[in-house]
Amino acid sequence: MLRLLSLLLLLAQPAAAREEIVLGLSQDSVAITATFEGSEILVFGAIRRDSQPPPGKLGVIVTVAGPDTPIVVRRKDRRLGIWVNVDDVKIDAAPSFYAVASSAPLGDILRASEDLRNRITLDQAIREVGTNVLDSRSFSRALIRIREENGLYQTLESSVDVSRDTLFETRIAMPANLTEGFYVTRILLTRDGNVVDTYETTIPVKKVGLERWLYNLAHEQAMLYGLMSLAIAIASGWLASAAFSLLRR
C-alpha cells in the first residue's frame, strides 16, 4: 500500500517543462564570387515550451564551424643566428572557420564538463593527436591567435540578444577568406550551465560564377588552366610594352 501511494504521488507531480529550439537563418547559403568581400549571417529563433519556464539561469550559445582540416603547427627558434623549426605539433582537425556567440559570458552559462562533451569553446573545437612536445597546448593557442587576427576564429560573448526568455538573435560576420564547404551551425540551450537542448543545421559556402569556373578549370584541367594563364601573362606583357612605346613617341 505504501509503494502504491508513493507511485500515485509521483504521477501527480507536474512534469518538468520541456524546452526546444526553433531556428531561423537570414540566408541558407553563402556564395563566393570574384568580388566577394565577406558576409553576415543573422541567426534567430525562439524557445518553445509546453509550460512555464523551468527555474535556473537561461543561456543561449550559437556556434558556426567551417570544414575541419588537419594542420601542422611549427615553432621556430633562433639557432646560430638562423631561425629554424625546432618543434611541431600535428593537429588532427581544426575548423577552417569558427565563431561562438553567447547570451552571457561563457563561464556563467556553461559548465566545463558540458563544454568538454559538446566541444563548444575554441579550445575544445580543435582536436590534437599524440605528440612528444610537453607544451603542445601552446601550439593550439598559437593557431587560435593567428586565426583570430585573420577574422577566422571569433569568440562573441554577450552578443546573443534574448527577449523575454523566449526570442533570441545574433549576427555572425564571415570574412572574405572563407574555405568552401558546409558550415555547421549549432544552437545550444543551457539551464544553470547544463545543455538542455541543441539544434543543428548546415550552411553551404560555395564558389559561383567566374570564381567557380576558374576553380574547376584549375583542378580538373590543370594543363589548360596553365596554358591560359601563360597566354594571359604574355598578352598583358605585350600590351604593356605597346602602351609604353606609344607613350615614348
CA 136/CA 119 separation, integer angstroms: 18
pLDDT for 63: 95
Q: Which residues of 100-124 are buried (b: 16+ CB within 10 A; e: fewer)?
A: bbbbbebeebbeeebbeebbbbbee
Task: State how beta strands 127-128 and 82-95 pair.
Answer: antiparallel
- Mean pLDDT for the chain overall: 78
Across the beta sheet with 58-65, the strand order is 30-32, 194-207, 181-191, 58-65, 98-102, 153-156
Q: Domain coordinates of the chain in residue numbers?
A: 16-207, 208-249
Average pLDDT score over residue span 54-68: 91
pLDDT for 99: 95
- pLDDT digits over 109-135, tens only? 999 999 999 999 998 888 766 555 666
Let me know: does 169 contact 161? Beta carbons within 8 Å: yes
Is the pLDDT at 175 greater than 90, yes or no? no
**187 or 72, which is more confident?**
187
Let me know: does 230 contact 222? Beta carbons within 8 Å: no
Is the pLDDT at 51 greater than 60, yes or no? yes
Question: pLDDT class for 60, splitting at 50, 70, 90?
Answer: very high
We find that the CATH architecture of domain 16-207 is Sandwich (2.60)
- pLDDT digits over 74-119, tens only? 776 666 667 666 677 788 888 999 999 999 999 999 999 999 999 9
Which candidate, 76, 60, 215, places its Cα nearest to that of 139? 76
pLDDT for 90: 80
CA 25/CA 189 separation, integer angstroms: 17
Average pLDDT score over residue span 14-29: 69
pLDDT for 218: 55
pLDDT for 243: 66
Question: pLDDT class for 242, splitting at 50, 70, 90?
Answer: low
Residue 104 grid cell: 552571457
